[in-house]
Structure 1
Amino acid sequence: MNRVVPCIVTVAAASVCVAPAQSTVRSEKHSFRIETVAEGLRNPWGMEMLPDGRFLVTERPGRLRIIGADGQLQKEPVANVPEVVARGQGGLLDVRLHPNYAQNGWIYLSYSKPLRGGSLTSIIRGKLKGNALTEIQTVFDPPAEEATNSSVHFGNRIEFDGKGFMYFPIGDRGEQENAQKLENVKGKVHRLHDDGRVPADNPFVKQRGARPSIWSYGNRNIQGLRFKPGTGELYASEHGPRGGDELNLIRRGLNYGWPVITYGINYSGAKISDLTHKEGMEQPVKQWTPSPAFCGMDFYTGDKFPQWKGNLFISALALQKVHRLVINNGKVTQEETLLERTGRIRDIRSFRDGLLYVIYDEPGKIVRLVPEG
C-alpha cells in the first residue's frame, strides 16, 4: 500500500517546528499572533489532533504525516495508507478521528480511489499502531461503474453527528447533470453508520434505483462540512463555478439545485442556467460572488478566543483568506475576513487546546492563531 498513481515528483522533506510569532494581528473581536507549526509540506489537506497532543496531517500526493506534540515532524510517513490517484484535485483528502477515538482508536481517511474507469472518492478506517495503519476496513466503497477520468470535484470532508452516523460529500466530478440523479453517488452528501452500513431511515433507501447512502443532493463540490455545536444543524461550504460559492444548511432529502439553479457562470463566461430560484430547490444560507473558493471550515469551540465562541471559520483558496461568520437561526448575521492575501488556505480547525490551526495549500504549511495579551 502507500502507493501513488501516477508517480509523484520527489520533494524535499518538510521542516517542522514552532517558529517565532509574527507581530500582533488585530481583528474586530480579538488580537492574535501567528505561529508557524510546520513548513515544506506538499499540499496538506486535512488535520487532526490526537489525544496525546500529536497531529495527523494528510498530504494530497498520498502521505499521512505525524507531527509530534513537541513540533517535530516524524521523518517517515505512516505506512499502509491506501493507494491514491494523485491527479488534479484528487489524492489523499480528509482525516478524522471517530468521536469515541479514545475508546476504539478508529481513524478515517478519504481519498480518490483508483478504479478501472478512473477514480472516485472512497473512505477507509484503521488504527494507528506505531507508524502504521492496521485493522484497515472499507467504510465507503464507491461504485466502480461511476468512476471517471476527470481530475476535479472529489469533495470531501468527513463529519460525525455524535449519534453513530457519518456524513460526507462527493463532488459532481465535473459531470453537472449527475448531481440531480439519485441513481448516482456524485454531487451528493451521504450518510452512513460509522462502520459503513446504510441507515434504514436514510431518505431514499426505499426508492427504487436510488443510491441508499444519499442524504441530500444537487451539490457541486462541497469541501467543508460541520455540525454547529448544540444545534444539530449541518452546514456545508460549496465551491461554485465562476461566482456562486455557497454556504448551505444540509437537511434530510433536500435538493440544493445544482446545476438547475446557480448564482455562478461557466469559467468561459457562458451561462450555466438562467435560474437562481426554483420551487423544490433550496436556497443557500449565503452566496458569494466572486468566488472565494471556499474549502474546509470549522466552528470555534475553544475558550482562548471567547468572543469567537460558536463562530464559523471558512478557508478560501482563490481569494486567500479566512471568513469568520456569526450564524443565528440559520442566517449569517455578521462577517469578517482574516489572514487576507497570505496564501491559498485549504482548511481551518478548532482543537481542544483552544487555538485555531490554519492549513495552507500553497505554500504548504500549518500555522496557528494564538491570543495576544
Structure 2
Amino acid sequence: MQRPTIPSIILVTLMITLLGPDLYGQNLGDDISVPPSPYPISDDAFTVSTLAEGFSVPYGIAIVDDEEYFISDRIGKLFHFRDGTLTEIDGVPRVGLAKLGEVIFLGGMMDLSLHPNYATNKWLYMAYVSDDGLSKVARCKIENNAIAQFEILFTTQHQTLVGNGLRMVWEDDQHFFLNIGGTSFSTRSHPILVSQDLHSEGGKIHRLMDDGSVPEDNPVFEGFTSPSSIWSYGHRDVQGLQYNKALKELVGVEHGPKGGDEFNVIEKGKNYGWPLYSFGTDYTGEPVSLISKDSAAVFTVFPEYYWTVPTDDGGQAIGPACLLKVEGSNIADWNDYYLMGSLSFKRLLKYDRATQQTYGLTVEGRVRTIKQLPGGDIIALVERSNTGVSNGKIIRISR
C-alpha cells in the first residue's frame, strides 16, 4: 500500500481540525447520505446501467471506443475494461496519498488520457501524485496487461499534494493542458500565495507538448526571459477542463472555498485571482480576499459564473469535480448543456451556460469523472473516497 509523506499526514490532520468531517462533501462514515438537490431537479429521460464495480476511488477514464476504456483508481491502480471484462494492469507507478483512516483527501493516481493519435501510437497518458509528493505526467503503452515503455514527461519541482485536480485535455495532436491545484486554506489573516507564485507549479494551468516539453508560444511572464509550462495562474483547484476545438476555447470549473465555485474561460497568460480575490469565504467563516473587488477587476479575471448555495451560515460550495459539454448525445435533454459532478451534494448537475441556470439530476453519488462515448452515451465514474469499502463503480447513461 502506498503511504503518504509525513507533511501530508500533518496537513490532513490540520484539515480535519479546521473543517470537520465534510471537506468537499466527503463522508467519513459507512453510510452515504445524499443531500437534497440545491437546484430544481430536471425531469430528463435517460436510463442508467452499471458496467463495473469494486473500485475504491475511480478517478480517470480514457475511452478507446464504446466498449473499451482504461480506468484509474486513486489508490494507485489501473484497469482495462473491454467488452464487459475488467482486468487490472501491472506495473503502475507508486503514488502518494494523504489519508485520514481510510478516506483519501489528497494525492493518488488521477487523470488518464489517450494521445489524439492513439490508434497509431498507442500512448496512454496518466497524471498522478508520486510517492515523493510531486505531481507527474507520464505516458506508457499497455502490453500483455502490463505497463510498457513508461516515460515520465513532466515533474513538478515542489510537492503538490494539495492539488486535487490533475486534469488533462488536448488542444490538438501536439499540445495538452494540465491543471495542478493550489492551496485550499488561504485567509486574509494568513495568506498563502502559491497560486500567484510563478516559480511554483501549484494553482496553475500548464500547457505542454505531447513529449512534455514547453511550447515556444506559451506566455512569457513579467520578469522571465522565456516561456515556461504555465498557461494561466491564480487558480485554486480546477477539477474539470473542457476544450472546444471549433471555438479554440478552454473552460474549467474550479473549487472555491466555502462557496464561490467558478466557471472560467481560461486564456493565455491571465491571472484568475486566487487568493487575492474570491467570491467565497474560508471554511472558518473568515474572509479570504486580500484586495477589493474593484482592485481585482483591474488585473485579474473574474469567473464567467460562480456558484454559492445559500445557507444560514454564509453559503455552501457545490464542489464541482468534472466538466463535460454534451453535444450530439443520445440523451436529447442534455445536448448543449454542461454536466458536472457535485461532490458536496453527491449528484450530477447540468448547467445551461446561455441562461446560467443550474439543474439537479437524479444520477446520485460522488460523480468524479464524466465522458461521452463516440456512440453518444455518457460514461460516469462514481466514487466513495473510502479505501476501506470497494464500492466505486462505472455507470453508463443512455436514452
TM range (shorter): 0.7 to 0.9
Tell me the CA shift for residue 206 of structure 1: 8.2
Query: Looking at both structures, which has the greater relative contact order when contacts are Cα pairs under 8 Å and sequence separation is at least 6?
Result: 2
Aligned runs of 1:174-185 on 2, under 5 Å? 174=184, 176-185=192-201
Secondary structure at 2:398 match in 1: strand
CA contact under 8 A between 2:109 and 2:127: conserved in structure 1? Answer: yes
CA distance in 1, matches of 2:261, 2:226: 27
- The one-letter amino acid paired with 1:31 is A
Tell me the CA shift for residue 52 of structure 1: 7.4
* 1:96 corresponds to: 113
- Change in Cα spacing, 1:154 to 1:281, as seen in structure 2 (3 Å) is same
* 2:379 corresponds to: 357
- Change in Cα spacing, 1:361 to 1:210, as seen in structure 2 (3 Å) is farther
* 2:2 corresponds to: 4
Tell me the CA shift for residue 29 of structure 1: 7.5
Tell me the CA shift for residue 305 of structure 1: 2.3
The answer on 1:284 being equivalent to 2:275 is: no
Deviation readout 1:163-207 (Å, 9 max, x if unpaired): 511101111144730101111111100001111110111112784
Match of 1:219 among 235, 238, 243: 235
Match of 2:360 among 306, 317, 337: 337
CA distance in 1, matches of 2:66, 2:142: 13
CA contact under 8 A between 1:49 and 1:55: conserved in structure 2? Answer: yes
CA distance in 1, matches of 2:349, 2:302: 20
The answer on 1:327 being equivalent to 2:327 is: no
CA contact under 8 A between 2:45 and 2:333: conserved in structure 1? Answer: no
CA contact under 8 A between 1:112 and 1:154: conserved in structure 2? Answer: no
CA distance in 1, matches of 2:200, 2:4: 26
Secondary structure at 2:120 match in 1: helix
- Determine what percentage of the aligned residue pairs are the same residue: 32
Structure 2 residue runs of 5 or longer lacking an equivalent are 6-40, 99-104, 187-191, 309-315, 385-390
Tell me the CA shift for residue 336 of structure 1: 2.2
Aligned runs of 1:240-319 on 2, under 5 Å? 240-273=256-289, 275-276=292-293, 278=296, 279-289=298-308, 290-319=316-345
- The one-letter amino acid paired with 1:311 is Y
The answer on 1:197 being equivalent to 2:213 is: yes
CA distance in 1, matches of 2:117, 2:170: 11
Tell me the CA shift for residue 272 of structure 1: 1.0
- Change in Cα spacing, 1:295 to 1:50, as seen in structure 2 (3 Å) is same
CA distance in 1, matches of 2:123, 2:353: 31
- The one-letter amino acid paired with 1:120 is L
CA contact under 8 A between 1:106 and 1:125: conserved in structure 2? Answer: yes
Deviation readout 1:52-82 (Å, 9 max, x if unpaired): 722211100000011222x2222xx211211
More helix by share: 2
* 1:16 corresponds to: none
- Change in Cα spacing, 1:343 to 1:30, as seen in structure 2 (3 Å) is closer
* 2:370 corresponds to: 348
Secondary structure at 1:102 match in 2: helix
* 2:255 corresponds to: 239
Tell me the CA shift for residue 232 of structure 1: 1.2
Structure 1 residue runs of 5 or longer lacking an equivalent are 8-26
Tell me the CA shift for residue 269 of structure 1: 1.2
CA contact under 8 A between 2:324 and 2:340: conserved in structure 1? Answer: yes
Secondary structure at 1:103 match in 2: helix
* 1:20 corresponds to: none
Aligned runs of 1:76-155 on 2, under 5 Å? 77-87=88-98, 88-115=105-132, 119-143=133-157, 146-147=158-159, 151-155=161-165
* 2:8 corresponds to: none
Tell me the CA shift for residue 155 of structure 1: 2.0
The answer on 1:161 being equivalent to 2:171 is: yes
Secondary structure at 1:141 match in 2: strand
Q: Which moved more, 1:37-46 or 1:317-326?
A: 317-326
- The one-letter amino acid paired with 1:78 is I
The answer on 1:73 being equivalent to 2:94 is: no
Aligned runs of 1:28-47 on 2, under 5 Å? 28=42, 30-47=44-61
* 2:18 corresponds to: none
* 1:61 corresponds to: 75
Deviation readout 1:215-236 (Å, 9 max, x if unpaired): 0000001111111352111011
The answer on 1:367 being equivalent to 2:378 is: no
- Change in Cα spacing, 1:198 to 1:206, as seen in structure 2 (3 Å) is farther
CA distance in 2, matches of 1:324, 1:54: 26
Count of aligned pairs: 337
CA contact under 8 A between 2:263 and 2:304: conserved in structure 1? Answer: yes
CA distance in 2, matches of 1:220, 1:89: 14
Secondary structure at 1:179 match in 2: helix
CA contact under 8 A between 1:295 and 1:314: conserved in structure 2? Answer: yes
Tell me the CA shift for residue 121 of structure 1: 1.5
- Change in Cα spacing, 1:308 to 1:54, as seen in structure 2 (3 Å) is same
Aligned CA-pair RMSD? 2.3
Aligned runs of 1:14-25 on 2, under 5 Å? none
TM-score between both structures, scaled by the size of structure 1: 0.84
* 2:36 corresponds to: none
